[in-house]
Chains A and B, each alone.
Chain A
């Protein structure tokens, strides 16, 4: 799948999203629920702003010293009997995993949810070499069953489907005959999955955080599938984004608290599992072999730039859960497996500016994302920085916009020209003004898109500037 999902460009995708009433209803209700659950959970914790500050400091420190902690992590993993591979690109990551799978002559793999494996298109790579990969997270299982539908959210990948839609998918693809009760459907999936865990040669997981000091890795989840994935198959492969690391267990405690409360409004999730020595050397059970694949895939390009704080992200999706744009267009419209505000910031870095030049503009800069971020990433400011790069460095702005902005700024730099322009506005717009209600229903030039959906008030006959000047003159004349 890779970062890019679908072939259509941004606006046709937006149109598709807006037309999909079922998806929009599901997104609206999920957003409202997740938002209020988060607020309750953070209120309960108290001093939320202090927690955010601490979260920001931890992430900033870690990312600033990423080389040190990655080295420490890899040393410790190897000391514990695991193998570490640093993948510069998605291709390198895929090839490494393919190599391990081929060495094991594996034909079946079970997977627990992982966005980074979506990013590097791992499932396709394994299918290519004859290894069947089964998604065992309920939401990912649904998507896989529904002809490999794409994730539309980074925490709740099938947020765009309501339970009735899911029942239909199960009915059509798996012959399910039960109701749309979540418990019943989950029970059905559990039956489907249970024996697959025993058959699998390989287990594949993502990693919420790796702990450098002990060489452990943590998975935060609400289903038991990840425990089975990491316990039953003889070989375990964990794939992590290079920034998903914390120095010690102490910081882990804090970022996990921030993650659970921000993502789903829970104090803790049902399972927070930490693996150290996954080789099972001390306990005698668990996988015999462990591989950690640390993926760069464009992340290190952000280091040392004004976008470095993007790497602070703990993938809680709270920015997505409050974003009014996401609310109306849904995740697929972004054309990236990372949707919403964080997706709009991250995707142009991981993929291509040209391909994703519309994403940074898919924001009204309302700042809801920045306010929601538990580690204080200034998301809306980063979107403005992307826009600057698009206009000034990449030269990708549309020509008419460039001309309009140039005219505007030239005029605004000169008080005389600015006032002349303001004075001229009513005359220029007079032919387009409805005389009854003093509004413009169909405007020319740059006003046209505004009036496609709204009326525009006609400019006042006298600007404030002019009125003030007249007042001053009248006063002076009166005094004389």
Chain B
């Protein structure tokens, strides 16, 4: 199966290891992985902030980049959602051609865990990681893309990993893209409540499927002096006994 990977801008710049892990997992599961190098950013920060004219041009670029791909897979529910929303930018009658192209891209674009479980039909990727972990469910992925089961299924097969539930896991961590910098005092209260709930689980590892939410939670924990281990799910799924690399070790 030919798969094009969509490396989100945060992964590209901040967490390249997550991208490498994703690539290795897909290759191990028998996919022929391709990375179209002209890809940039999905445009979500501009779209969510109201700059739709600019986002339209960005969307056109990304649609062209992945036009020939069979499948597009991203290590982020949020950026996957943006690609799924592209067609809304082309609602004018004269944009019909682009609207159709956007819909075709959406149909073949998947979030990583959803792709592994629903398309490849795999639940056990042979990972091993010892510890007690809790999972942060990102809003865009869980609620808006309705991807609820795949991460849980995959993590339940990781050897040595004990998962503990996170109370109030339906609540946003306070990232919200530009919200985190535009509404700092509110975002602070939200992330503090999230950190409080995470600490209450007794877990020594936090797992998530979106680097942006994790960057927010970990950034706040670090500021508060909590050095809890944080991993993107791709890192967990690519983890082996004896290897102890996390996304922080670049």
The reply to whether chain A is a binding partner of chain B is yes
Q: Tell whether, in the assembled complex, residue B250 and residue A454 are in contact, meaning their CB atoms are under 8 Å apart.
A: no
A401 to B170, CA, bound (A): 30
Q: Give the segment of B96-104, B109-117, B138-146 that binds chain A.
A: B138-146
Interface residues in B172-207 (C-beta closer than 8 Å to A) = 172, 174-177, 179-191, 193
- Chain A neighbourhood of B150, CB < 8 A: none
Interface residues in A383-401 (C-beta closer than 8 Å to B) = 384, 386-392, 397, 401
- Chain B neighbourhood of A456, CB < 8 A: 215, 219
- Chain B neighbourhood of A412, CB < 8 A: 9, 40-41, 43, 58, 61
- Chain A neighbourhood of B186, CB < 8 A: 14, 18, 325, 328-329, 362
- Chain B neighbourhood of A463, CB < 8 A: 12-13, 16
Q: Tell whether, in the assembled complex, residue A467 and residue B16 are in contact, meaning their CB atoms are under 8 Å apart.
A: yes
Q: Whose C-beta in chain A lies nearest to the C-beta of B43? A: A412
Q: Give the segment of B49-57, B128-136, B158-166, B235-243 that binds chain A.
A: B49-57
- Chain A neighbourhood of B50, CB < 8 A: 384, 386-392, 397
Q: Tell whether, in the assembled complex, residue B49 and residue A401 are in contact, meaning their CB atoms are under 8 Å apart.
A: yes
Q: Tell whether, in the assembled complex, residue B13 and residue A459 are in contact, meaning their CB atoms are under 8 Å apart.
A: yes
Q: Whose C-beta in chain B lies nearest to the C-beta of A398? A: B182
Q: Given A364-B176, A392-B52, are A425 and B58 neighbors across the interface (CB < 8 Å)? A: no
Q: Tell whether, in the assembled complex, residue A409 and residue B58 are in contact, meaning their CB atoms are under 8 Å apart.
A: yes
Q: Whose C-beta in chain B lies nearest to the C-beta of A441? A: B223
Q: Tell whether, in the assembled complex, residue A368 and residue B143 are in contact, meaning their CB atoms are under 8 Å apart.
A: yes
A441 to B219, CA, bound (A): 9
Partner of A464, one of B16, B40, B176: B16
Point out which of A370, A415, A446, A469 has the most chain B C-beta atoms below 10 A from its C-beta: A415
Q: Tell whether, in the assembled complex, residue B41 and residue A418 are in contact, meaning their CB atoms are under 8 Å apart.
A: yes
**Chain B: interface size category:** 35 or more
In the complex, per-residue mask of A319-336: 1 if CB is within 8 Å of any chain B CB, else 0: 000101101110000000
A367 to B222, CA, bound (A): 27
* Total A-B residue contacts, Cβ distance less than 8 Å: 191
Q: Given A425-B13, A450-B181, A457-B14, are A364 and B53 neighbors across the interface (CB < 8 Å)? A: no
Q: Whose C-beta in chain B lies nearest to the C-beta of A383? A: B48
Q: Tell whether, in the assembled complex, residue A362 and residue B183 are in contact, meaning their CB atoms are under 8 Å apart.
A: yes
Q: Tell whether, in the assembled complex, residue A462 and residue B179 are in contact, meaning their CB atoms are under 8 Å apart.
A: no
Q: Does A422 contact B (CB under 8 A)?
A: yes
In the complex, per-residue mask of A402-421: 1 if CB is within 8 Å of any chain B CB, else 0: 00011011011111001000
- Chain B neighbourhood of A480, CB < 8 A: none
Q: Tell whether, in the assembled complex, residue B189 and residue A454 are in contact, meaning their CB atoms are under 8 Å apart.
A: no
Q: Does A468 contact B (CB under 8 A)?
A: yes
Q: Tell whether, in the assembled complex, residue A415 and residue B172 are in contact, meaning their CB atoms are under 8 Å apart.
A: no
Partner of B61, one of A14, A371, A413: A413
Q: Given A361-B179, A454-B219, are A15 and B185 neighbors across the interface (CB < 8 Å)? A: yes
Q: Tell whether, in the assembled complex, residue A366 and residue B176 are in contact, meaning their CB atoms are under 8 Å apart.
A: yes
Q: Give the segment of B31-39, B66-74, B118-126 that binds chain A.
A: B31-39
- Chain B neighbourhood of A439, CB < 8 A: 219, 222
- Chain B neighbourhood of A409, CB < 8 A: 43, 46, 51, 54-55, 57-58
Q: Tell whether, in the assembled complex, residue B143 and residue A371 are in contact, meaning their CB atoms are under 8 Å apart.
A: yes
B binding-site residues for A, Cβ under 8 Å: 7, 9, 11-17, 19-20, 35, 37-41, 43, 45-55, 57-58, 61, 139-140, 143-144, 170-172, 174-177, 179-191, 193, 215-216, 218-220, 222-223, 248, 250
